Chain A
Amino acid sequence: MSAAARATGDGVLVGLRSLLAKELHEQWRTLRLPILVVVFLIIGFGSPVLARFTPELVRTLAGDQFTISLPPPTAADAVDQLLKNGTQFGILVAILLAMGSVATERERGTAALLLVGPASRTAFLVAKLAVLALTLALAVAGAVATAWLYTAILFTTPSPAGFAGAGILLWLELLVFTALTFLGSTISRSVLAAAGLGFALLIVLGVLSAIPTVGAVIPTGLAGTARTVALGLPEPDWRPVAGAIVLVVAVVGASIAVFEREEL
């Protein structure tokens, strides 16, 4: 094999294509991808249904002893349910997906096995992050498409572009927590420590979002922007979007910088 033939990419991304294929294969073979898509489809289906039937459910449970007056449900309630369920469950999933991605490979020695060769460390990390992002994107896309369909059936037909935009923003929020946990997985030698760091940063972001000046750009505000976009309301607040993009880029950069210097 000639030296030229050994190269599978350029510069810092040598081996990226093969590593991407391996990561995608892993997501499929370990059933993470299909399971996640199915679970998010259930969220997408369940959110409008829950929004539609919650008032009736509450009235039935309350019986004749109480009189509970609830406004008639709307498409906005379906969107709220989708964003609430998608965010809560999605963040948990993002942390679970990312926590072992690097720490496990280092612990098992598989990273060393692949990286004693032409493949670059940056390509190794980028492939992992890209496939995690793709996995979440497919899951969120499934959830949003299903939610749009059932919202149209149970309420009124919402804007497809608005739902698509909300889906992208929900995905971006999940990507923030994926990237933060990924950094934890890169820094720490233990999967649990990586998960702990992910949850700790979740709490930190929650606290920061309560501070008026800082809170405006904290990615936890993405759900609000997503709601505005989904419902076609005027003047969405784009500051959390900018904050999320900056945070993801910074955290991914930090992960690569750490991993490039790390001993395997």
Chain B
Amino acid sequence: MSVAVGSSIAAAAPAATPAIRMRGLRKRFGEVVALDGLDLDVPVGSVFGLLGPNGAGKTTAIRLLTALARPTGGSVRLFGVAAGEVVRAGRVGYLPQEPRFYDWIHGRELLDLVARLHGLADRHERTERVAAALRDAELAAAADRAVGTYSGGMRQRLGIAQALLHDPDLLVLDEPVSSLDPAGRREVLRIVAGLRGRVTVLLSTHVLSDVERVCDRVAILDRGRLVAEGELERLLADHATTAFRLEPEPGQGAAVAALENALGGQSWARRVERAGEAGEALLVVTDDPGAGVAILRLALEAGVAPAAFAHVRPTLEDVFLDLVGHPVPEDLDGRGFVRPRTERDA
């Protein structure tokens, strides 16, 4: 899917002005505090992941920056201007969580309506742009069918097509891959990745692997508060622990137990865990990135012949666990999509 994008970002604001700036953003629903003083900057041209468990405040933050809701306190500015003005200027593309359209409308008609609402008055240009968007979303064959007959994946692709149709400067995607199968998910993420540097993308999701795949910056929200924000690699370096995984040759139970004891006594070993299907492997969590050599030395001293030894790359899930303090649910989005297994799951 190739996407034509706008060129007005550079003209929109000085280079240092972030695409999104939230300051002290608060939102209360009665006694419930959905957002509690959120400060966040999203750089222009970045693909920014908004991550957090259910109820963290992701959708509330999105509703505030798309001017669908009003903050209880604080402010949201887009490209240095009040969010509502930027939204009304047609510079924001928005895909709501689980988009639902009019059942009676055809895919082509919906995109035509969106184009007209964004001021694309020239009929010929509009027709061409809509046709191209339908092709890009692989919906050309279903373009003249009622949207009520579309599958969840088709509706999601139609939602992304309508969000991109008017060349927005900021694209806001609320759980964009939640109802897609793996192939559809990969396709959507590829589209998002292709926008990097040209359109600022704010992507909210539960799915950690998706964030790792496409986002260059991440913010983690929990209970309405920002618990971490920054470049993905930086977050991984700052918050994720270092771990080494040692997989012994079979039939070395006693030696492995001795090694486990020896590792447990080391000051640099924060935690030693059994890993692998039968608990035959060892996972050593440490603060010392150079502990690998010491682990191998102890293994040899204990008489353990390693079949495999690896420095386990820290994942965003490690950061998430570290910061939020509770694991991401196995069924991340309530629809049966299970997060991919990581080294830590082994």
Task: Find chain B residues with CB under 8 A from A3 CB.
Answer: 89-90
CA gap between A19 and B113 in the complex, in Å: 8
Given contacts A1-B90, A109-B99, A263-B70, is CB(A117)–CB(B117) below 8 Å? yes
Contacts of A25 in B (CB 8 A): 105, 109
Take A1-B166, A29-B105 as given contacts and tell me if A263 and B116 are in contact as well, using a CB distance cutoff of 8 Å: no
CB-CB nearest in chain A for B112: A18
Q: Contacts A25-B109, A30-B104 given; indicate if A118 touches B121 (C-beta within 8 A).
A: no
Whether the pair B68, A115 counts as a contact (CB closer than 8 A) is yes
Pick from A5-13, A34-42, A57-65, A78-86 the stretch touching chain B: A5-13
Given A113-B96, A113-B99, A117-B87, A18-B70 contact (CB < 8 Å): no
- Let me know if B119 and A1 touch, CB within 8 A: yes
Residues A264 and B69 in contact, CB atoms below 8 Å apart = yes
Question: A66-95: which have CB < 8 Å to B?
Answer: none
Q: Are A1 and B104 in contact (CB under 8 A)?
A: no
Residue in B6, B68, B116, B162 whose CB lies within 8 Å of A112:
B68
Decide: A112 and B96 in contact? CB cutoff 8 A: yes
Give Cα A106 to B87, complex, Å. Answer: 18
Instruction: Please tell me if A119 contacts chain B, counting CB pairs below 8 Å.
Output: yes
In the complex, what's the smallest C-beta–C-beta distance from B146 to chain A, in angstroms?
8
Q: Counting CB contacts under 8 A, is B92 at the interface?
A: yes
- Which chain A residues lie closer than 8 Å to B69 at the CB level? 263-264
Q: Which residues of B contact A118 (CB under 8 A)?
A: 88-90, 117-119
What's the nearest-Cβ distance from chain B to residue A115, in Å?
Answer: 7
Interface size on A, residues (CB 8 A): 30
Taking the closest CB of chain B, its distance from the CB of A51, in whole angstroms, is 39
- A113 close to B162 (CB less than 8 A): yes
Residue among A3, A15, A116, A118 with most chain B CB within 10 A: A116
* Known contacts A7-B119, A118-B119, A263-B69; A1 and B87 CB within 8 A of each other: no
Q: Looking at the assembled complex, report how far the CB atom of A194 sits from the nearest CB atom of chain B, in whole angstroms.
A: 19
Across-interface contacts of B40 in A (CB, < 8 A):
none
Chain B residues lying within 8 Å of A26, measured Cβ to Cβ, are: 102, 104-105
Q: Is the CB–CB distance between B68 and A8 below 8 Å?
A: no
Residue from B67, B92, B104, B117 within 8 A of A114 (CB atoms): B117
Contact (Cβ within 8 A) A1 B109: no
Contact A113 B94 (CB under 8 A): yes
In the bound complex, CA of A108 to CA of B159 (Å): 14
Interface status of A110 (Cβ within 8 A of chain B): yes
- Nearest chain A residue, comparing its CB with the CB of B116: A18
User: Which of B's residues lie within 8 Å of A, judged by CB?
Assistant: 6, 63, 66-70, 87-90, 92, 94, 96, 98-102, 104-105, 109, 113-114, 116-121, 162, 166-167
18 A-B pairs whose Cβ atoms sit less than 8 Å apart in the complex? A1-B90, A1-B118, A5-B119, A6-B89, A8-B119, A18-B116, A29-B105, A108-B100, A112-B66, A113-B94, A113-B99, A115-B68, A116-B68, A117-B87, A117-B118, A117-B166, A118-B119, A263-B63
